Amino acid sequence: MNATKQTPFTSVSLAALLGLGLLAASPVFAKDEKAAQAQEMREADKPMGLVLKELQKLGVKPVAKLSVEEARKQPTPADAVKAVLKAEGKDPVALMAAMKVSKKDMTFPTGGGTQPVRIYTPETSASGPLPAIVYWHGGGFVIADIETYEASAMALAHKTGAIVVSAEYRHAPEAKFPAQGEDAIAAYRWVVENGGQFNADTKRVAVAGESAGGNLAINVAIAARDIKLQAPLHMLLVYPVAGVDTETPSYREHKMTAPLSSADLLWYFDKTLNGPQDKQDPRLDVIGKADLKGLPSATVINAEIDPLASDGKLLSEKLKKAGVEVTHKTYEGVTHEFFGMAPLVPDAEKAQTLAAKELKEAFSGASSTGSTGARKKSED
């Protein structure tokens, strides 16, 4: 390996050390990491702190220290939530069942073959087809899957009364950028063209995603505008990956936090990108290079203890400058991945309720024939 080769994203000394396996083994790094984790525990709300402690008990390591195979096999924040709930005498399975959302697995065609989707249909008294939300999970384009993020998808179906289509996509490093975005566009097109098969109102479709999935959601909206595909009615972007600047305030502040650190993000980008040239692509540098004019209304949700907090703030500001109606909310005392933790973390319940309110307003402003009405202004 060429010793002068740099990883695709620059925080150069950090990324280079990670690539050589030196930083993770450094006693100084280990000491700083423990100090950062202790500080994070103090800053986190008590329920969030319980999840972080459980992640430690489960032996979860920063992905920056792992191979791709190891990262994919280790326990997830969702596993930690389930463990804490069980310790408190609560049944995670019963809590999910109480939402009364049915599931159906299907597939959709992509340039890379087919990918799975899981259709979540809420029990509702509404007659006729239901609005639909196409949802993409997080995991840095490398790890996790539909199952990992099921709590978020089910909660959105339950709270909005809409069908949620959780769509999978090819993962890196087996499929490099932009394969993930291509699959996301294919999933959205498939829902618009075939949603009637599962009782979806194909004229009332929104997009949603967490972390890497948030990046896919906004890029689907941009692509729909540019290729004259039916536009989504709303974008729910939960701590989205939206830029290539690794020196934002939140990147600098959260270099060693869990369950996502700045070092972890560098690892994800290194596995996903083909090379430094990909940093210039507006699909990755959404904040710096994407044209955001003419996009649908957006809800951007962030966590305070998260290296992506600045991305969400900067994206919200750019959307507003482009004339897009935006509601942006950062929840204090919680970390990346909090959104799906509503049975345990109160702020997750609040964030889901806000998201559902915004989505329902967008759906109510459109008829089943696709005509749009005025959407109520939301508080920022």
Beta bridge partners of 132: 163, 205
Catalytic residue among 45, 306, 311, 347: 306
DSSP-H helix ranges across the chain: 12-20, 27-43, 46-57, 68-73, 77-87, 92-97, 150-160, 179-194, 212-226, 249-253, 262-272, 286-289, 309-321, 346-364
Name residues whose C-beta falls within 8 Å of residue 105's C-beta, 6 or more positions apart in sequence: 116, 117, 118, 119
**Rounded Cα distance, 126 and 268, in Å:** 42
* 291 catalytically annotated: no
Catalytic residue among 152, 211, 261, 310: 211
Stated length of the chain: 380
Name residues whose C-beta falls within 8 Å of residue 233's C-beta, 6 or more positions apart in sequence: 131, 204, 205, 206, 296, 297, 362, 363, 365, 366, 372
Contact 348, 341 (CB under 8 A): yes
**Rounded Cα distance, 155 and 162, in Å:** 10
Phi-psi region of 50 (alpha: psi -120 to 50; beta: other; left: phi over 0): alpha
Q: Are strands 200-210 and 130-136 parallel, antiparallel or unpaired?
A: parallel
Burial of 35-67, coded b for 16+ CB within 10 Å and e otherwise, reads ebbeebeebbbebbbbbbebbeeeebebbbbbe
If one counts every other C-beta atom within 10 angstroms of the C-beta of residue 98, the result is 11
Catalytic residue among 152, 171, 336, 347: 336
- DSSP secondary structure, 283-297, as one string: TT-HHHH---TTPPE
Q: What CA–CA distances, in Å, run from 278 to 24, 90, 274, 324?
A: 26, 45, 7, 26
* 380 catalytically annotated: no
* 336 catalytically annotated: yes
Closest CA relative to residue 308, chosen from 287, 294, 280: 287
Q: What CA–CA distances, in Å, run from 192 to 127, 224, 298, 372?
A: 20, 11, 19, 16
What amino acid positions are annotated as catalytic residues? 211, 306, 336
